[in-house]
Amino acid sequence: MTTLGALTLSDHLILDGLENHAGVVVSQRRTLGGVSRLHVDPAPGGRTLTLTGDNHFSLSQVQAVQAVAGTGLPLQLVHHRGTFTVIVSDIEVDQSIRYADPDGNTWYSGTITLIEV
């Protein structure tokens, strides 16, 4: 089961972005004696993740994600690839079949862009 905060999403969503992160933070400091020291620590977050799906977003799910997009509220994303604390950066969806007046049975395809915190 895939969840974003209290919102249950489809298990068929693809989570991308886990492989595109350096994973470490490097800093260099000089001691009083002039020796250079490198400090390497794990990166605390900041990578961009995306949830992508074709015909896997309902109208109510799209509206719920749009309500929190850009607010900066941290949410817990639970996906079969892991559990992450994220904020919703953007959502780009389009109706799978165009209806003039979409209702609760209308399905959407698109991408939710998340930033790990």
The Cα 41–Cα 8 span in angstroms is 34
Q: E strand or H helix at 113, and its extent?
A: strand 107-116
pLDDT average, residue stretch 79-97: 92
What are the chain's domains? 2-116 (2.40.30)
Tokens of 69: 């997009």
pLDDT above 90: residue 37:
no
Q: What is the mean pLDDT of the chain?
A: 88
Tokens of 8: 């249950």
Dihedral, 96, 100, 101, 102 alpha carbons, nearest 10: 0
